[in-house]
Structure 1
Amino acid sequence: MSQSFAEYYQNVRQRQKRESLLWSGGILIVYLYSGYVSEFSWSVVWQGFPHLFDYIDEIMPVLHWPQLLANGHTKGSLAYWGYRLHIQLPLLGQTIAVAIAATLLSSFIAALAAFPAAGNTLTHPVFRYSLRSIAAFCRTMPELAWAVMFVMAFGIGPIPGFFALFLHSFGSQTKLFYESVEVTSDKPVRGLRALGASRIERMRYGLWPQVAPTFLSYTFMRLEINFRQSTILGLVGAGGIGQELMTSIKLDHFDQVSIVLLQIIIVISVLDYFSGKLRHYLLEGANHA
């Protein structure tokens, strides 16, 4: 008995090693071919590496300790560095508002669409694949492409940014959500079906409690992504702090590039911290309940 188990174990180990070597070799071939097609060159990397932080050095503000707390007319002071804060902070608030609005609306609609789009909810195939196709189209189009289309329709401002983030987020969230639904346990659903529960009731009481924490996590993650993406959408005139950042880059106002980037980093850090706290609080509350 022990001898046969040892042979079986060795066969399994050998098969795993062969599969690992085959997969590793295949990934290495794809990796090398991708580098060849993209014209990757180690010499270029080696030559450019010493200049990697040149731009960061360029945008760093010139601050002097003796004048640090002086008024806005004194070079080297914090006030002089932040002379456009009265313009930038409202734009930053606008960006946060657009990201939150797009995330909440897209996640809400995606949560509703995820259940009929999942393969384990007995939805008619035509309806299910129609929802999946719409979601795939929305997430296939980059946010920048959506933003350009809406800028041409509505003009420069936060509205194009909102619609661009909403559509792309809806497509991405729907896929994540219905895949989460598909990996749930079917035992609660079968129990509810045996009790005569309707399809809506089976989704509400059998599937929703299992996927709610995952939906919540994906929503918070999407909020952070949307805030970062909204800064990039300023490149095409979608408003917010991103437009201020792109304007500063184009005009070579390097000191303003750094202060805008600092604001973005601070907001993302704060969002990450509070979203983690809120997620922990809601999940702990749900578990205790």
Structure 2
Amino acid sequence: MQPYTQTKDGQAVLINTPAYTPDDVERAAESGADGLGLLSTDFMYLDRNNLPGEEELYETFCRISRKMGGRPVTIRLMQLPPSRITAIKDAGLSDEYRGVRLGLARPDMLLPQLRAFMRAGAAGNLRLLLPVVADVSEVLRIKEMINDIHHELAGQNIPHVAMPELGVEVEIPAAAVMAPVLAFEVAFFSISEKLIYNTLLLNNSHNLNGGLLHDYTPSFLFQISHLAEEVRKRRKTVSVTAPLAGRMPAVPLLVAIGANELVMAPEQIEQAREIVSRLTMPRAKLVASKAMSFWSPNEIQRYAEECLARLLK
């Protein structure tokens, strides 16, 4: 495995890729990425009349871990709304019940995921990402369930990881606000594209960089910066899975404001590595400070593009 990408002055930055389907996993394994920065498990719940059981989930997690050859894999718990899951869409739950909310309301869905992950984690380099978290109490309830599962598996002499490395997917503004508290209970934070939509009160029908929505929205950049600054005090890490991570002019900016990991399409990895390797942190921070002094997303983008052009000369 190749070493992680570093800036000129030695700041390590993980350049990872996501996977939403089994085909994506194949591409990720061949991409040269440092790891799988986001494995969505949603595909295992779509287009079927039953729910996947513990063994199916366990075998899938193990197979993907082996495919990635020991590189870190971040597995996100299922986060679909009930209306998209045939097996439970008539159960009377509204679509506000997604991710951790749905799992806590339906332990019969959550427990197999947790048990499968903990077993697969005994032999793989896995992290667990909790989606749709709004409050630390939800994380504490998940950790209580994990502790109970640990005692069950230990009593059965089944190999497992006792307490997985947990992270929160930041997609609700409440999670960004509560990050200093959440940092006491989790190891990392993953900034989702949905944070932009939820912050601006927009739905997914809005096109990125058109109308009301823009990659370089100042409020989004400030949320990342403030969150990274707060959780760094607890020595926690921040990844960005939003599309901004794959915009090359934004790479220096994101690294400067505290992103430890950027998750992007496989075809973007090589250029991102080149950009990071040419950076120094003092220079990147100067660029970020100037960029974030602009009020308009278009001005931020234009300045970031100009700085990137000078960097790559």
Normalised TM-score (structure 2): 0.24
Larger fraction in helix:
1
Larger fraction in strand:
2
